[in-house]
Amino acid sequence: MPGMAITFRLHAVEGAARVGLLNTPHGDVPTPAFMPVATQGSVKALSPDDLKGLGATILLGNTYHLYLRPGPDLVQQMGGLAAFMGWNGPTLTDSGGFQAYSLGPNVKIGEDGIAFRSVLDGSRHLFTPEKAMAFQQAIGADFVMALDQCLKYTQDKDAVCAAMDRTHRWAARCKQAHTSDSQALLGIVQGGVFQDLREESAAYVTGLDFPGYAIGGLSVGEPKSEMYPLTAFTAGLLPPGKLRYLMGVGSPEDLVECVARGIDLFDCALPTRVARNGGLFTRKGRVDVGTAALFRGKEGPVEEGCDCYSCRTFSAGYLHHLFRAKELLALRLASIHNLRFIARLMGDMREAILIGRFAAFAQSFLEGYRTANEEERLRQAGKRMARARE
Amino acid sequence: MPGMAITFRLHAVEGAARVGLLNTPHGDVPTPAFMPVATQGSVKALSPDDLKGLGATILLGNTYHLYLRPGPDLVQQMGGLAAFMGWNGPTLTDSGGFQAYSLGPNVKIGEDGIAFRSVLDGSRHLFTPEKAMAFQQAIGADFVMALDQCLKYTQDKDAVCAAMDRTHRWAARCKQAHTSDSQALLGIVQGGVFQDLREESAAYVTGLDFPGYAIGGLSVGEPKSEMYPLTAFTAGLLPPGKLRYLMGVGSPEDLVECVARGIDLFDCALPTRVARNGGLFTRKGRVDVGTAALFRGKEGPVEEGCDCYSCRTFSAGYLHHLFRAKELLALRLASIHNLRFIARLMGDMREAILIGRFAAFAQSFLEGYRTANEEERLRQAGKRMARARE
């Protein structure tokens, strides 16, 4: 049976929140877990040692990018994605569909698959469910994803329904085409913001019996007031004993909100992208270390009590200087901090669930984080008003 | 007496080549040594741990850049350059004069000093000998440099002579203004490509009795056929027991050629700048890992036998991919490789001098390195011709 080498076991639950262990031939992933994104086979600015050092347990690679460059065959020849990038641990690849669809231009989606032009050279390509399986098999991650049709946030139920139906037919074709014993293929539930479609999609996709399920089509532009309840609703439709992966979600507040709603696995480029722009996570909210004048000449770390390499080694004042001076080291140090922040947050949530204190932890975290963000927003608004008056 | 805490002792000589030990309160520097350049308080793309790991012993900071941002007072308040950047080792700053002069625009050099506009915001500034000393004292490196007037390569002897005379007057003013007990102030010999001026300059500057001497105004555009003999000639004019520093020189072949001519200390941004453009040093010459197709999918390291972190951890094929994909990690890995290459080269030269085998080592290295460069040049020329025929 495909993917038999990979197992998932639940250890504890509190409300909808769950703690589990994902066991793969390349290592264990305690869940809930966050996957840093190694888009082109590298988490931007970081080495595998950096990632191990900050507590990352599993990485995500983007099939779209790796397919275009260096190509699935070359990755396979170099021993697969993990070996290629020097990462001694589990990996997951997406199907490539989301980027093929979202990066454009000239995307055409038909029953056969997604026709697109390369962002690198404009050349024509086609992702079919069968090709998505073959490419991902060559790339060789532990987890591979079914090809799905994702839409941006829309209230057009007919369009969402048609994309969902196509996703279902593609899921069946992926399941058929997936022959690797060493890779676990995860199905994807679509259905947009419509509960009845989410129900229909969950019923169909779980009926195909995948070893785990992703929730797709969220965090694509809908308000949080729709995203959180839909996450809870959809997670509740999935079999309790199997892995639940919410794709493309990774802000600190979203991670807490969605662990609370029963999600086990996340990925998002946001923590590292924000870091490269000088935005650093702290328990009191996000701070902008490069522009906020309060960091100029500040001794001590960006965040007191943070055990990341950057905070243990460098002052906030130095990081401020590195960003002002556009030094490359800034990008690495900030990325390490944010990913360590997320890894610690996931660890804290696992611990809280295990001892039955998750509800209190989540409330406390969100109050602290939101308050600080609110203060920052007010502070920025005040500065804009002050400038406007000048 | 200023700079007393810093000593330099010669251990062995072979011909003009010398092995010594520079002892500072922040650590020892075995010479000949190469200083990586931390322009703005960071060796581009590298952390202090990277630098320790590759065998760097002393770093150079640029006073011009640190003066403009974050400012000498702030560096001082943060504990000085080394503490500010988390570097647990010796440091040296240049005077700022070379960059003030070469980065332009609107530079005016008068007897008082160098008036220039900031590259950051166009604001007006003046470096005098006295200010160069004060700024460098605040920045707090172990070694500081006298303010000199540097010219680009020219055969205009009158201009060179005038700049030299001014450099001498500034050297005396620097010596007068230098009051720090913990910093060693090095004098600079100028005189362009004229032996009689070099003689005059060496006589004047050594007459001021600095604890060590730099050779300035070389590697500024003159042909190697002039630079190498002038290096030998000028080094021979300096007191044997004191440190000799050749400023702005750092290609592998120049390092070997100039150690052979009696130089103890070097700095250059070339190894890291070349690295960021994909040029990697090997004993067989420089290779372009990003563009040379022979690295695509190549297993094994960029250079067999290299003990740098990058070669120990990643395949040449992966590095090739990182450069093709413009991944930030490429810049760090390539910089580590090139600086490790230089650090090993310096260590090999020290070892060779100690056992009286330097002449043979230098000949062997230069033959191997030049041959490979020649082959690469021919190969590139062949490719250009092939393209031209298409």
**Residues A157, A180: one domain?**
yes
AA identity, residue A140: G
Distance CA B323, CA B332 (A): 11
Number of Cβ within 10 Å of residue A357's Cβ equals: 13
Give the three-class secondary structure for A354. Answer: helix
Based on the domain organization, do B262 and B281 belong to the same domain? no
Overall average pLDDT of the B52-64 stretch: 98
Cis, peptide link before residue A30, omega less than 30° from 0:
no
The predicted pLDDT at position A1 comes to: 41
Q: What is the C-alpha to C-alpha distance for residues A189 and A212, in angstroms, rounded to an integer?
A: 11
Among chain A, residues having any CB pair with chain B shorter than 8 Å are: 40-42, 44-49, 65, 69-70, 74, 77-78, 84-86, 296-297, 299, 313-315, 317-318, 321-322, 324-325, 327-329, 331-333
CB under 8 Å to A206, separation ≥6 — which residues? A187, A213, A237, A238, A239
Cα B227 from Cα B255, distance rounded (Å):
12
CB B33 within 8 A of CB B142: no
Decide: A186 and A174 in contact? Cβ < 8 Å: no
Q: Measured in whole angstroms, how far is the alpha carbon of residue A203 from the centre of its chain?
A: 24
Contacts of B171 (CB under 8 A, 6+ apart): B129, B146, B148, B187, B188, B204, B205, B208
Q: Is residue A381 part of a domain?
A: yes
Residues in chain B: 390
Do A172 and A299 lie in one domain? The reply is no
Q: To the nearest 10°, report the CA torsion of A273, A277, A278, A283.
A: -40
Q: Quick check: is B252 in a domain? A: yes
| A113 and A232 part of one domain | yes
Task: Please tell me the predicted confidence (pLDDT) of residue B385.
Answer: 61
* CB-based burial label for A381 (10 Å; 0-12, 13-18, 19+): exposed
The shortest CB-CB distance from A299 to any of B45, B49, B78 is to B78
Global confidence as pTM: 0.95
The closest CB to that of B318, out of A69, A84, A321, belongs to A84
Residue of B nearest to A120 (CA): B325
Q: Is residue B212 part of a domain?
A: yes
CA atoms of A311 and B157, how far apart (whole Å)? 54
Rg of chain B in Å (alpha carbons): 21
Q: B285 has which bridge partners? A: B282
Shared domain check, B131 and B49: yes
- Where in the sequence is the domain holding B89, given as residue range(s)? 7-269
pLDDT at B387 over 70: no
State the nearest Cα–Cα gap between A133 and chain B, in angstroms. Answer: 22
The alpha carbon dihedral of B318, B321, B325, B328 has a sign of: positive
Point out the residue among B78, B325, B331 whose CB comes nearest to the CB of A297.
B78
B332·A69 Cβ contact <8 A? no
Domain count across chain A = 2
pLDDT tens by residue, B373-382: 666 666 666 6
**B348, B354 Cβ separation under 8 angstroms:** no
d(CA B84, CA B82): 5
Whether residue B372 is found in the same domain as residue B282: yes
- Indicate whether B181 belongs to any domain: yes
What average pLDDT does this structure show over B244-253? 97
Mean pLDDT of B35-39: 98
- The confidence score (pLDDT) of residue A261 equals 98
**How confident is the model over B256-285, as a mean pLDDT?**
97
Of the candidates B289, B286, B247, B291, the one whose C-alpha atom is nearest the C-alpha of residue B269 is B247
Looking at the structure, do residues B180 and B306 belong to the same domain, yes or no? no
Verify whether the Cβ–Cβ distance B46 to A321 is below 8 Å: no
C-alpha distance from residue A157 to each of A154, A188, A226, B249 (Å): 8, 18, 15, 68
Q: What span, in angstroms and rounded, lies between the C-alpha atoms of A382 and B131?
A: 40
- B329-344: string of b/e by CB count within 10 Å (b at 16+)? bbbbbbbbbbbbbbbb
Quote the pLDDT of residue A387.
Answer: 60
pLDDT of residue B3: 46
Last residue of a domain, one of B224, B245, B269: B269
Q: How far apart are CA A84 and CA A82, in angstroms?
A: 5
Residue scoring higher pLDDT (B5 or B337): B337
Based on the domain organization, do A233 and A361 belong to the same domain?
A: no
Instruction: Kindly state whether residues B62 and B182 are assigned to the same domain.
Output: yes
Same domain, A207 and A329: no
Nearest to B289 by CA among B229, B334, B353: B334
Cα torsion A202, A205, A209, A212 to 10°: value is -70
Cα of B323 to nearest chain A Cα, Å = 11
**Residue B87 identity:** W
With a CB cutoff of 8 Å and minimum separation 6, the contacts of B54 are B308, B309, B336, B339, B340, B343
Neighbours of B207 (CB within 10 A): 12
Residue A1 lies in a domain: no
Decide if B314 and A86 are in contact by the 8 Å CB cutoff. Answer: yes
End position of a domain, from candidates B238, B269, B300: B269
Average pLDDT over residues B287-313: 95
* Partner residue facing B78 (CB), from A49, A70, A317: A317
Judge if A255 and A355 occupy the same domain.
no
pLDDT at residue A3, as a whole number? 46
ipTM of the complex: 0.94
pLDDT in tens, B91-140: 999 999 999 888 877 899 999 999 999 989 999 999 999 999 999 999 99
Q: Is residue B1 part of a domain?
A: no
Angle between helices B328-354 and B316-324 (to 10 degrees): 130
The pLDDT of B230-256, averaged and rounded, is: 98
Is the domain of B25 the same as that of B169?
yes
Among B230, B251, B269, the domain-final residue is B269
- What gap in Å lies between CA B232 and CA B15, rounded to an integer? 11
Residue pair A143/A91 in contact by the 8 Å Cβ criterion? yes
Output the pLDDT for position A131.
Answer: 98
CB of A85 closer than 8 Å to CB of B313: no
Does residue B70 have a cis peptide bond before it, meaning omega lies within 30 degrees of 0?
Answer: yes
A39 to chain B, minimum CA–CA distance in Å? 10
Chain B: nearest CA to A290, how far in angstroms?
A: 12
What is the full per-residue pLDDT of chain A (390 aa) written as tens digits?
A: 444 689 999 999 999 999 999 999 999 999 999 999 999 999 999 999 999 999 999 999 999 999 999 999 999 999 999 999 999 999 999 999 999 888 877 899 999 999 999 989 999 999 999 999 999 999 999 999 999 999 999 999 999 999 999 999 999 999 999 999 899 999 999 999 999 999 999 999 999 999 999 999 999 999 999 999 999 999 999 999 999 999 999 999 999 999 999 999 999 999 999 999 999 999 999 999 998 889 999 999 999 999 999 999 999 999 999 999 999 999 999 999 999 999 999 999 999 999 999 999 999 999 999 776 666 666 666 666 666 554
